[in-house]
Amino acid sequence: MFVVSLTDAAGSLTLNNYRQLLTEPRQRALMLTSVVLGVGAAIFATVLGAPLGLVFARARLPAKRFLRIALIVPLVIPPYIMALAWVLLTGPVGLFARAAGRDFLSDWTYSLTGAIVVLGLTFYPLSMLATEAAARRVDARLEESALLAASPRRVFWRITLPLIGPTVAAAGLIVFVLALSEFGVPALLRVRVFTTEAFTAFAAFYDFGAGVALCAPLLVVALIVSVVIKFIIGERLLVTTRSMRLGLPLIFNRPLRAAILLGIAVVICASSLLPIAALLFEATRINRIASAVSTSGTAIANSLWLAFAGATLIVALAAVLGYGRARARSRLRVLFDPAFILLFAAPSTVVGIGIIGLWNREGLMGQVYSSQWVIVVTYIARFAPVAALMLAASVRQISTSSEEAAEVAGASWTHTFGRIVLPQLHTALMAAWVVSFIFCFGELGATILVAPPGESTLPVRVYTLIANTPSSEVASLALMQVGITIVPLILLTVFLPKKGARKPA
Amino acid sequence: MSGAFLRLLEVTKRFDERFVIERVSLELREGEAMALLGPSGCGKTTVLRLIAGLETPDHGEIWIGGEQVAAKGRNTVPPRGRNIGFVFQDLALWPHLTVAGNLDFVLQSQRWERRTRRDRVDEALRMVHMSPHADKYPSQLSGGEQQRVAIARALVARSQLLLLDEPLSNLDSDLKSALLEELSVLQRRLNLTTLYVTHDETEAMSFADSIVRMKNGQIVEIVASNQAKLNASAKPILMTCEE
């Protein structure tokens, strides 16, 4: 990719693409919009997610398990569907405009602010989950010893918050990079950022060099942020243990508790109920569900099969990578995490262009490139790193003596890995498969670039239909996409063994 | 070579330039029980891990049953080739395998025949009185029962060298005494060469023929235990103290 960005159409060496990037006012405006989008989404997601995480870690709430699942739902709805749902709600002919008899929200919807809100509502669960995990990890003894000298409020501000602060900041940075890398939301809400411009340069003008040069700033930012995240949270990236005892509880009086529950209800409404209701309303307004299924049946079947194959191969690869990361003794291990984060945070457009540059050649690679399998390769490139980090954290939970005992007993490495390590990881493998399936099933930005002619997935089909097909049919397909994505999440939650559950005799 | 079954010669191990074990030499005759005694962090466990091949010595040699298993800064025989029984401090029972499964995994790894394996697992479980619990998972057992399974797993492949890393440290004193007595009987009956790491002097005295005291990675004292006085035939034949 990098080499191509340094050549012109005739194949001569040139820095022209990068010179334009730095000197043209249009490019500077793009940079400003991209950064404002990333920072805005990160702040929005943190302001919403961090307090929720703290509340879920330390406060008593009714139906906590259910509320947590409801709050996590936006994370499994592909961002571009969230944007589509908000267009159906607040667009010029959206539900609110129809109800009020006039369009008063579409200027806001198709704006940078609209994109920030949609991305913030999509990514706040990341901040919530990270904060909750950090608050649970705080050693209760640290807070208890401070309580001997200070009030609970002071302990909270001076001990608890500084301890969880780095994780909250790291989660904010991850949201920043994900928002900066997002293609579907700005594309649908007509916000021009680097990812949409790179897509246009590549897909509309076939200008590979300009497309790559437009990706360069995103890659640099992603790289810097990955290193900063690793620096801030270090090995905690792989620590999932909880403190033996929970620290200071958050105790609320009744009015405050009611206000918090109301706030949670509002967040659930805005982030998942309203968007899903908008899709449902639009899909059933003119019943297009049957026609949507019949005209997009191949895309739906493709998506299911490719996501299944992708998730399975990702988990197989991630199990080995994650094990290597967790057990690595080499000093090079400090490079693993930034590399994994960078690969995950790399914009989908960048990954798509990179895959084309790498696989579009003669021989076996070319055969893969011209088949459906290039989409599976894309899924692996995008999501294997995050699955590897998930599994590395779980490998850390297995005592090394468990493997040493097998080694002393005479087992080979492969025997130990297959019979001792993998069976103890079965829950994590299941979770990693479901997460990978959800990610693969919703992937749009890279798939839209690499999909061979005639091969389409559901997200690509929805995105390409948005411009020229009745919104009810698009809403039906989007609803199907959300439904298929939520089912595995619910199954995972239901069938995931509870902590401390014993195996049957 | 001397007639020792286990021999460590000037073994040194450093972690990050810090000496964990410094020029440790010791020998055990076949069937001898020796205790390594010392405070936490003095290098006792590292000695066991070096013998098992789980760590590589920086200097020195290790011999087991007349075969050199480590020398010149590398392990010449991997852990699985040393035929050692090891009871880890946290027991390291595989939680997803049943009691019988834990034992069978060892035999399967060493390519024992299926029929022989079943008989051998039954025999090892009988030795530690755990036959009724063969189909249970480790999480369904009490602490003492888990300890017995760990011991049975270490014995199941008929290893001649048994390494025990504070195996009773998490038990109450009554259970500890009972298990220690059983372990001692088994050790004598099976004529097992045994190295027992502990920081409890009473435990060491009642189990071992000889006691090696360690401090800061070095051997500082060697004494014959009460057991050794009762069993005059089993005495350490060589131990050196490097200052």
Q: What is the CATH number of the domain that holds A145?
A: 1.10.3720.10
Pick left, alpha or beta for residue A245 (phi over 0 → left; psi -120 to 50 → alpha; otherwise beta): beta
Six-digit token pair at A485? 């994505």
Asked if residue A8 belongs to a domain, the reply is yes
Q: What is d(CA A444, CA A199) in angstroms, rounded to the nearest whole number?
A: 12
Q: Provide the pLDDT for residue B229.
A: 47
Same domain, A336 and A482: yes
Buried b (16+ CB within 10 A) or exposed e, A248-282: bebebeeeebeebbeebeebbeebbebbbebbeeb
Mutate: best of B50, B96, B155, partner A, most A CBs <10 A: B96
Same domain, A484 and A336: yes
Cα distances from A8 to residues A11, A13, A15, A26, A244, in angstroms, run 5, 7, 9, 21, 61
Which of B106, B135, B136 has the CB atom closest to A409's CB atom?
A: B106
B168 touches B203 (CB < 8 A): yes
Q: Cβ separation of B92 and A405 shorter than 8 Å? A: yes
B141 touches B102 (CB < 8 A): no
Asked if residue A277 belongs to a domain, the reply is no
Which of B90, B109, B139 has the CB atom closest to A409's CB atom?
A: B109
Residue A134 main-chain phi, psi, to 5 deg:
-65, -40
pLDDT band at B126 (very low <50, low <70, confident <90, very high): very high
Nearest to A305, CA basis, from A372, A357, A236, A384: A372
Nearest to B30, CA basis, from B188, B151, B181: B188
Q: What is d(CA A237, CA A130) in angstroms, rounded to the nearest whole number?
A: 10
Q: What is d(CA A44, CA A290) in angstroms, rounded to the nearest whole number?
A: 38
Q: What is d(CA A476, CA B37) in angstroms, rounded to the nearest whole number?
A: 72
Residue B27 main-chain phi, psi, to 5 deg:
-135, 145
Lowest mean pLDDT among A159-163, A177-181, B26-30, B214-218: A159-163
Q: Provide the pLDDT for residue A498.
A: 52
Same domain, A294 and A248: no
**A8 close contact with B: CB closer than 8 A:** no
Q: What is d(CA A319, CA B148) in angstroms, rounded to the nearest whole number?
A: 33
Total domain count for chain A?
2
**A360 close contact with B: CB closer than 8 A:** no
| pLDDT tens per residue across all 505 residues of chain A | 556 556 665 666 666 666 666 677 777 788 889 989 999 999 999 999 999 998 988 888 888 888 988 998 898 888 888 999 999 888 887 888 888 888 788 888 899 999 999 999 999 998 998 888 888 877 766 676 666 666 777 778 777 888 888 888 888 888 898 898 888 899 889 898 888 888 887 776 666 666 677 777 777 777 787 777 777 766 555 555 555 456 667 777 778 888 999 999 999 999 999 999 988 888 887 666 677 777 788 888 999 999 999 999 999 999 999 898 888 777 666 777 778 777 777 788 888 888 888 888 888 888 888 888 999 999 999 899 888 888 888 888 888 889 999 988 889 889 999 999 999 888 889 888 988 998 899 898 889 888 888 778 999 888 888 877 767 888 888 888 888 888 877 777 776 655 444 443 3
CB pairs under 8 A between A and B: 75
Asked if residue A260 belongs to a domain, the reply is no
Same domain, A310 and A199: no
Longest dimension (CA), chain A: 77
ipTM of the complex: 0.71
Q: Provide the pLDDT for residue A109.
A: 87
**A331 close contact with B: CB closer than 8 A:** no
Q: Provide the pLDDT for residue A16.
A: 67
Contact residues on chain B for A401, CB-CB shorter than 8 A: 88-90, 92
Q: What is d(CA A490, CA A73) in angstroms, rounded to the nearest whole number?
A: 10
* Domain span including residue A373: 288-505
Residue B82, pLDDT > 70, answer: yes
Q: State percent of chain A over pLDDT 70.
A: 84
Mutate: best of A403, A408, A416, partner B, most B CBs <10 A: A408
Asked if residue A80 belongs to a domain, the reply is no
Asked if residue A97 belongs to a domain, the reply is no
Contact residues on chain B for A402, CB-CB shorter than 8 A: 92, 94
End residue of a domain, out of A201, A234, A252: A252
Q: Cβ separation of A409 and B95 shorter than 8 Å? A: no
Which of A399, A412, A505 has the CB atom closest to B92's CB atom?
A: A399
Q: What is d(CA A424, CA B137) in angstroms, rounded to the nearest whole number?
A: 13
Same domain, A228 and A293: no
Asked if residue A281 belongs to a domain, the reply is no
Residue B234, pLDDT > 50, answer: no
End residue of a domain, out of A252, A279, A305: A252
Q: E strand or H helix at A148, and its extent? A: none
pTM for the full predicted model: 0.74
Contact residues on chain B for A409, CB-CB shorter than 8 A: 80, 105-106, 109-110, 153, 157
Same domain, A185 and A324: no
Contact residues on chain B for A420, CB-CB shorter than 8 A: 94, 105
Query: A19: buried, middle or exposed (CB in 10 Å: 19+, 13-18, 0-12)?
Result: exposed
Residue B237, pLDDT > 50, answer: no
**Which residue would you say has higher pLDDT here, A475 or B125?**
B125
Same domain, A48 and A166: yes
User: Which residue in A has a C-alpha nearest to residue B93's C-alpha?
Assistant: A402
Q: E strand or H helix at B36, and its extent? A: strand B33-37
Mutate: best of B48, B49, B51, B54, partner A, most A CBs <10 A: B54
Contact residues on chain B for A426, CB-CB shorter than 8 A: 96
Same domain, A27 and A124: yes
Q: Coil, helix or strand for B51?
A: helix
> In B, what residues contact A, Cβ < 8 A?
52-54, 78-82, 84-86, 88-90, 92, 94-97, 105-106, 109-110, 135-137, 139-140, 153, 157
Asked if residue A446 belongs to a domain, the reply is yes
Same domain, A296 and A248: no
Contact residues on chain B for A405, CB-CB shorter than 8 A: 86, 88, 92, 94, 153
Same domain, A50 and A189: yes
Q: Provide the pLDDT for residue A148.
A: 63
Same domain, A359 and A405: yes
Q: Provide the pLDDT for residue A226.
A: 75
Residues 6+ apart with CB under 8 A from B94: A402, A405, A406, A420, A424, B101, B102, B105, B138
In chain B, % helix, strand, coil (3-state, to 5) comes to 35, 30, 35
Q: State percent of chain B over pLDDT 70.
A: 91
Tokens 């399975």 -> residue: A312
Q: Provide the pLDDT for residue B242.
A: 39
Q: Cβ separation of A399 and B90 shorter than 8 Å? A: yes
Same domain, A296 and A244: no
Contact residues on chain A for B139, CB-CB shorter than 8 A: 502-503
End residue of a domain, out of A252, A279, A309: A252
Q: Provide the pLDDT for residue B175.
A: 79
Asked if residue A373 belongs to a domain, the reply is yes
pLDDT band at B61 (very low <50, low <70, confident <90, very high): very high
**Which residue would you say has higher pLDDT here, A474 or B243?**
A474
